[in-house]
Amino acid sequence: MRYCVVNGSPRGKSGNTAILLESLVEGIESTGTVEIVWFHLNDVRDRESAPKAFRTADVVVLGFPLYTDSMPGLTKAFIESLAPFEGLEDNPRLAFLVQSGFPEAQHSRFVERYLQKLAQRLNAPYAGTVIKGGCEGVRLRPQEMNQALFKQLCELGVDLAQGGKFDQARLENLAKPEHYPRFLATLFQLVLLLPVTQAYWINQLKKNGAYDARNARPFVSEN
Amino acid sequence: MKIAILNGNPAEENSSFDQYLRNLQGLLTGRGNQCELLNLRELDAGYCTGCWSCWVKTPGRCSFADDSDLVCRAVINSDFVLFASPIRMGFLSAVLKKFMDKLIPLVHPYTTVVQGEAHHRCRYAAKDYPLGGLLLEKTPGTDHEDIEIIQAIQARTMLNLRTRNVFTMLTDHAVEDVVDAILRC
């Protein structure tokens, strides 16, 4: 089996999407002899070769970070390059991974519906979409804190390789929290007013000497 | 009323889409409005790289200082923004999406809770964020579900900009109908 893994993240190999895709691939590889071909769309050469490789794959895994509620522009350009394959038979099976900085899976459900329709548009079997929120910390925290997440992704990779699709219960479990209960949301609203909850941003601003300019409104005149 | 039209038509050959928007701009201007038409494919900007410099290094603007500045400035200074795009593979064009990704300097990195969900805090005053509308051109194969999916995602994007999508219309509609829909806002 030949797998094309397409990383649609503008951060390429060093981003969270790549890290999550690697765990998924580890699961796929654990099932036997498979061929894995990677494409990082932030690399111009991969951007050109990925559409050409699309029809040579048995399975294409497309992963991306949620950018303003859907796929990044870079990933959308890749999807548009698949237009010549619309309506053809024998397109590869499609699996997706969407990760977001927002903690809840809810934010990614809207693009999930799009991806399902995309598979249909390409006459491609749909293997499902892995959704995980709260991922900005993945590349920053000690790797042992990611072990549970990596293990679940690995298992999803095994599902894909052995059954051709992700296990629904496993997808739902990984996606938690789907959304916050209403009473907690009100509590969070108050908690998020505490500077400590925004510490990551405040520290970054200070490190860059930009803290005093943090509330800048460069595009409107202040009078 | 100040109106910005973001033209997400990627293909110069599709001149009827551009013409539709020029007619729209003409009619809006003729009725005493200020209307700026931005042809995104002619602007010079790279994809958002997710570096977040616009949040933590040069707060409020992209550190690459490309033409996305023009788009951010037009959006935040308008009362109404029309996101216009031919449908490509069931969604907004990549060129429109590229510039929508680059609207994030208009909000803070800090988060808050809106409608029970985590969202970014506003950088500008709430009144500065324009209302939005969506104008789509159907392509062969476009069905009702595609439009529903695009509209649902657009509603989310507008919520993240702490505003709302007031209407979704198709270029099948007469230009005058779009003018009326905008001026009703």
Computed from CA positions of residues A159, A163, A164, A169, in that sequence, does the dihedral angle turn out positive or negative?
negative
Cross-chain Cβ contact A73/B56 below 8 Å: no
pLDDT > 70? residue A222: no
Tokens of A129: 């979409």
Q: List the domains of chain B with CATH numbers.
A: 2-183 (3.40.50.360)
pLDDT at A184: 76
φ/ψ bin of B120: left (φ > 0), alpha (ψ from -120 to 50), beta (otherwise): beta
pLDDT at B156: 96
Tens digit of pLDDT for each residue in B53-80? 999 999 999 999 899 999 999 999 999 9
Cross-chain Cβ contact A114/B91 below 8 Å: yes
Optimal mutation site among A114, A120, A136, A140, interface B, most CBs of chain B within 10 A: A114
pLDDT > 60? residue A223: no
Cross-chain Cβ contact B50/A214 below 8 Å: no
The beta-strand segments (E) located in chain A are: 2-7, 35-40, 59-65, 93-99, 126-132
**Residue that wins the pLDDT comparison between A190 and B84:** B84
What is the CATH T-level fold of the domain A2-175, as seen in this structure? Rossmann fold (3.40.50)
Tokens of A138: 């993945």
Residue A15, min C-alpha distance to chain B (Å): 9
Contact A33, A161 (CB under 8 A): no
- Give residue A71's pLDDT band: very low, low, confident or very high (50, 70, 90): very high
Identify the closest residue of chain A to B58 by CA–CA distance.
A210
Optimal mutation site among A7, A40, A41, A69, interface B, most CBs of chain B within 10 A: A69
Residues in A 139-178 with any Cβ partner in B closer than 8 A: none
Tens digit of pLDDT for each residue in B106-131? 999 998 888 888 899 999 999 999 99
Determine what percent of chain B is predicted with pLDDT higher than 90: 94
* Candidates A86, A106, A216; nearest CB to B59: A216
Mean pLDDT of A2-22: 97
pLDDT > 80? residue B43: yes
Mean pLDDT of A116-133: 97
pLDDT at A221: 78
Tens digit of pLDDT for each residue in B145-178? 999 999 999 999 999 999 999 999 999 999 999 9
Give chain A's mean pLDDT.
94
ipTM of the complex in this document: 0.97
pLDDT at A195: 78
The beta-strand segments (E) located in chain B are: 2-7, 34-39, 80-86, 107-114, 117-122, 131-137, 165-170
Instruction: Give me the half-sphere count of Cα atoms (radius 13 Å) on the Cβ side of residue B116.
Output: 9
* Candidates A107, A179, A218; nearest CB to B60: A218
- Give residue A74's pLDDT band: very low, low, confident or very high (50, 70, 90): very high
pLDDT > 60? residue A168: yes
pLDDT at A18: 98
pLDDT at B109: 92
pLDDT at A97: 98
Cross-chain Cβ contact A10/B49 below 8 Å: yes
Please report residues of A whose CB lies closer than 8 A to that of B52: 204
Query: Which residues make Cβ contacts (< 8 Å) with residue B32, sequence separation at least 6?
Result: none
pTM: 0.96
Optimal mutation site among B149, B163, B164, interface A, most CBs of chain A within 10 A: B149
* B123 in contact with chain A, both atoms CB, cutoff 8 A: yes
Closest Cα to residue B95, out of A76, A10, A83? Answer: A76
**Residue that wins the pLDDT comparison between B106 and A87:** B106
Domain with CATH 3.40.50.360 in chain A: 2-175
pLDDT at B115: 86
Degrees to nearest 5, angle at CA B64 with B121 and A215 = 30
Residues in A 69-88 with any Cβ partner in B closer than 8 A: 69-74, 76-77, 79-80, 82-83, 86
Residues in A 14-33 with any Cβ partner in B closer than 8 A: 15
Mean pLDDT of A45-63: 97
Which of A116-125, A140-149, A179-188, B86-95 bottoms out in mean pLDDT, i.e. has the lowest? A179-188
* Candidates A11, A189, A216; nearest CB to B50: A11
* B92 in contact with chain A, both atoms CB, cutoff 8 A: yes
pLDDT at A87: 86
